[in-house]
Chains A and B, each alone.
Chain A
Amino acid sequence: MQSAVSIKNLKIAYGDQTVIEEMSIDIAPKEFLVLLGPSGCGKSTLLNAIAGLQDITAGEIWISGKNVTWEEPKDRGIGMVFQSYALYPRMSVRKNLSFGLRVAGLPKAEIEARVSRTAALLHLDTLLDRRPAELSGGQRQRVAIGRALVREVDVFLFDEPLSNLDAKLRNELRVEIKKLHQSLGNTMIYVTHDQVEALTLADRIAILRDGVIQQLASPAEIYQRPANLFVAGFIGAPMMNFIEGHIETGDGAPVFESHGLRVDLSGYGFRTPPASGPATLGFRPDHLMLDGAASGMPTLPGRISVVEPMGSEAVLWFDWAGHSLSLRLMGDVTLRPGDGLSPGLDIAKASLFGTDGSRL
């Protein structure tokens, strides 16, 4: 199947400072791809390059089967939504929506029809004659999304569209964007530094660091089987617990040892045959079971230092062998700081990383 957007060996550099390093991604039609990473990882630069707003150093960009590497933004068949909304301040909402169409010289009736269709879709009908300054943050961002929709293109680019909104609006608009994607079926590329947005919206997430893709996979895959220590630490809140130790592959099944803890690794899905040597064991707060000892799991006995209730769930922080580890519990928690506990570790859901940081 033809890719909606295809990035081939893309490189972006300012002088000798490389922002994007030899990157290739294929994005399928109707796919929702999220570019996720810390600030300065090159995700916005990549999006701007796809839009044609950023000069590239090498490589090609294809959109809908056409090489658009040298095309102007307007000829690439994209619509874009910006973090700061970037609405034209002196124009009404109607004028904002129709600006691109007027520039393109579409007939008046067609413009009228498209604007009212988009306005209805985004519940902007009653706001059409207002100026951006008279709108709330959420309304402004809906207008900005509308300005992209009204172009009726195949590919939508979002550059941190929800970052300027407060938490409640962010949740609402996130759901709206997801609905929009489900009903329109366009290809969407969405840049964010918010892992919740990434996990909830994406079909696939590309995690970037220093201009290099660390992992490109489904949200579940990235959460369950992070490709390296960076991805493991970046995704998930509270952060994944890490324990340094080493792997023994004597006779029988391989074993992870650390501070007297011995974990039988026969239930762990190794990518490559296990070898002896230092390693880091990572496990999520959700993968510790309070009653784990009963089912024969290896245990991490410790004492609770902090309890963080979060309504439907709670995070317990406890000390084990000089590490501060976290454990997630659903429902009400009666445990208090100072109480002892001995949670079991589900090794099938844990991750092991080698000395180079990549998954074993």
Chain B
Amino acid sequence: MARLHPNGPRPTQITAGRIGLYLFLIVAVLFFTLPLYTMVVTSLKTMDEIRLGQIFSLPSKLDVSAWITAWSGACMGTVCVGIRSGFWNSLAITLPSVALSVFIGAVNGYALSLWRPRGASVLFGLLLAGGLIPYQIFLYPMVRAMATVGLYNSLAGIILVHVIFGLPLVTLLFRNYFVSVPEELCKAARVDGAGFWRIFFEIMLPIAVPMVVVVSMLQFTGIWNDFLLGLVFAGRDNLPMTVQLNNIVNTTMGERTYNVNMAATILTALVPLAIYFLSGRWFVRGIAAGAVKG
């Protein structure tokens, strides 16, 4: 082959490795989208059509009755009110839990990184350790503790549990974010006469907006998708959507209504999915955010 005189952009070459890479990516995409496709398709079929066993075929005619049943009529044991109440329970649990844990975590991270109180590093180490220990270990002592203070089986109780278990990670993320903020910013504000809270609310929190968004999303999806804590701590009246979904899907009486199960599952997963789709840009920005400019 004649040697080309290098000039302009380097020519692209298609290698075996590149073809393999694309093949892998295509397979990966199929691997993750096929189950979703099956769920959507099945939820729109009638039970008669499902019994034909062609799980990849499109529904012969769109039937949304399964969705309606899942939302407002599916049975959990003997109660047939659908997953609707679980949706509102999940919102009532998730929104305050996210707001509280993000706020407290932000204050923690700010104090640990910019004020460095005595013993800050020890405290931070303990927090990290707390985040690394599997939380199932704490279940029993936590139940006893909640029962002692009278918060077991209550909405306040489950919110408190979520806040406590969320704090190590949230604090870690905020601490690492605020560590990149120049210390001089804090000093300048102190010379200007601002105290701990004013510096936090007027200077640091506005800087940390991308982090607040990311952490809120992480916490929201984490708490929304939680099953075990909700099952153990929420009590019968506050069972979150995930627990109710399980009750619907695992009901042993009569025929398994696959279309309703699929619809209920999609409904439960819809909220976190929507959050990721709507705020993906913010998510990437927050993860990538490092030093503060200006």
Contacts and interface: CB of A to CB of B under 8 A. Distances in A.
Interface string A132-151: 11010000100010010001
Given A53-B187, A80-B187, A103-B198, A89 B192 contact: no
Given A84-B184, A86-B182, A90-B206, A133 B191 contact: no
Contact of B184 (A82, A140, A151): A82
B192 A103 contact: yes
A74 B184 contact: no
A82 B294 contact: no
Contacts of B193: 72-74, 100, 103-104
13 contacts: A48-B187, A72-B193, A73-B187, A74-B191, A86-B184, A86-B185, A86-B187, A87-B188, A99-B192, A133-B293, A144-B188, A147-B188, A159-B184
B277 to A, nearest CB: 27
Nearest to A76: B191
Interface string B237-249: 0000000000000
A80 B188 contact: yes
A89 to B, nearest CB: 5
A135 B293 CA distance: 11
Interface of B: 182, 184-185, 187-194, 198, 202-203, 206-207, 292-294
B285 to A, nearest CB: 15
Given A89-B293, A90-B206, A140-B294, A99 B185 contact: no
A79 interface: yes
A83 interface: yes
Contacts of A135: 294
Contacts of B203: 88, 90-91
A51 interface: yes
A132 B294 contact: yes
B191 A83 contact: no
Nearest to A134: B294
A117 interface: no
A18 B292 CA distance: 32
Contacts of A79: 191
